[in-house]
Amino acid sequence: MGRLTLERAALAIPTRRRDGVPSMGADEDPFTLGVEALEALAQGAEPTTEIRHLKVIGNAGPATEELFRAALGAPTLAVEYLPPGPEGVLGTLGGGQGSRERDAGPSATLVLDSARGATSAGAEKAGDAAVALRFGDGLGLEVELIGRQEGPMDDAEVLQGVVTRTFGGAAGSAPTGWLVVAKDRPDRLLRALSTASTPVSAIWRRSGVTGLGEAPGVSTLGALAEMSRSLGREQSGLLLIEGPSEVFIAAVRSTGPCTWIGPWDGASDSGMTDSASALPDTQDLLVVSQGAYIPRATYLAGVSSHWRMMADRCPSCRRLTFPRRGSCRWCGAREGLVRERLPRTGLRVEAVTTVSSGGQPTEFDAQVSSGTPYDVVIANVRDGVRITVQVTDYPPGTVRVGDRVSLRLRRLYPMEGEWRYGLKAVPEAR
């Protein structure tokens, strides 16, 4: 079987920042960030059949197969969870352990880096990020994890192993160049590569994507993005990535352009707010059910229509019903309803209200308990459809009538020991 090709990759990062790096707010988690990356991946792509298999690398938090199926509109989706870090990423890309070279149907991989509050000696605070990858039989990058060596990048034995393995022919055709990813510049390794019997051009870059802090999975993919831009068609390169206790070696071959979506050159400060104005941390509320009780089965039955903004177009009166309910809300027709997806960007705000302490539904008590109010807007979607949603990521008073907003999937409130999710509004640039 042939190896699948990486065709597209989409990077999603939170709007909020903490200690200089993007950091998830209280209404975000790895699941919502991952869904954002998967949605970005689908934008502008050729229409395809639904994804049949999703590999998730890293901690997906409370997400379950049911939630991923609802978010993607893929009722038969199979979800496979794999360990985080360079080995999981490179192994999956190259058909390594825990991965299938060719799944039955279209496949995607989701890489999650979410170490909220984690730090390591001498390193930046961890940033939060998610990357969605799409594979196919077309043009892009072929990646093969060809080996790994124990020890630090500049260790003599590791150095000798890397050079012997590469120039001994195990990597295939001679590489155009090397990309070495490590926290510190490995001078001995770089000198050895430049003076080998078959010298090559070697470039060192520091671990991580600029502005993201510690993000091992995304760092690996950032290195691939950099190599992708430097390789011509049918050219190959070698990628060395420093892990916590070993060095990973991957062969990369370009068969054509690979599309990289998102801020791969570095996280920008534009449009980001300080985490000091974010919602209070509600992690421990998972043990408490809030608000009017909605059985889990009832909640799950409608989430795909709500989250994906799916409506029904009536063949009789031509009006839209949202969310979908199996009949036209205007004339009652049940036959011939046509499913139609509504936009989630560019929605015009028609009304704004600020909810302060005492005015909120009980499920949002924790959100306003510290005296932090929030805005709720009514936004015009299309053809008479309007939606009422809470505003997130920005403080009250930011949104005005006439502004445009986009809808993002976020946490709403905990119930039955888990989070309930729904759409919230994020202001678009004026």
Residue-by-residue pLDDT tens, the chain, 430 positions: 346 688 889 999 888 877 777 788 888 888 999 999 998 888 765 544 567 888 898 877 666 788 898 888 888 888 888 877 776 777 676 554 334 444 455 678 888 877 554 444 434 456 788 889 888 777 888 887 777 777 777 776 666 666 666 655 444 455 667 777 777 777 877 777 776 656 666 777 665 555 555 556 777 787 788 888 777 777 788 788 877 777 888 888 888 888 889 887 755 544 444 443 344 444 444 445 556 778 888 888 888 889 999 999 999 999 999 999 899 999 999 999 999 999 999 999 999 999 987 777 777 777 777 667 899 999 999 998 999 999 998 889 999 999 999 999 999 888 877 888 999 999 998 7
Architecture of the domain defined by 343-430 = Beta Barrel (2.40)
Burial class (CB in 10 A: 0-12, 13-18, 19+), 216: buried
Please report the pLDDT score of residue 289 as a whole number. 54
Q: How far apart are CA 134 and CA 119, in angstroms?
A: 31
Radius of gyration of the chain (CA): 24
Please report the pLDDT score of residue 228 as a whole number. 82
What is the distance between the terminal CA atoms of the chain, rounded to a whole angstrom?
50
User: How many other C-beta atoms are found inside a 10 Å radius of the C-beta of residue 348?
Assistant: 15
Q: How far apart are CA 141 and CA 236, in angstroms?
A: 9
Burial readout 243-254 (b: 16 or more C-beta within 10 A, e: otherwise): beebbbbbbbbb
Counting every residue written for the chain, the total comes to 430
Cβ atoms of 408 and 423 within 8 Å: the answer is: yes
Q: Which residues neighbour 49 within 8 Å (Cβ) at sequence distance 6 or greater?
A: 105, 106
Q: Which residues neighbour 284 within 8 Å (Cβ) at sequence distance 6 or greater?
A: none
Widest CA span in the chain: 79
Which H or E run includes 303?
helix 296-307
pTM of the full structure: 0.83
- For the domain spanning 142-258, the CATH number is 3.40.47.10
Please report the pLDDT score of residue 172 as a whole number. 45
Please report the pLDDT score of residue 59 as a whole number. 77
Please report the pLDDT score of residue 128 as a whole number. 84
Domain boundaries, the chain: 5-138, 142-258, 297-341, 343-430
Please report the pLDDT score of residue 206 as a whole number. 65
Cα dihedral 213→218→222→227 (10° resolution): 140
CATH for 5-138, options being 3.30.830.10, 3.40.50.1010, 3.40.47.10, 3.40.440.10: 3.40.47.10
Tell me whether the CATH fold assigned to 142-258 matches the one assigned to 343-430.
Answer: no
Please report the pLDDT score of residue 102 as a whole number. 45
Q: How far apart are CA 84 and CA 110, in angstroms?
A: 11
- In the numeric block, the tokens 């155009």 are attached to 176
Q: How far apart are CA 217 and CA 12, in angstroms?
A: 13
204: Cα separation from own chain's centroid: 26
Cβ atoms of 220 and 109 within 8 Å: the answer is: no
Cβ atoms of 324 and 339 within 8 Å: the answer is: yes
- CA proximity to 29, closest of 223, 281, 333: 281
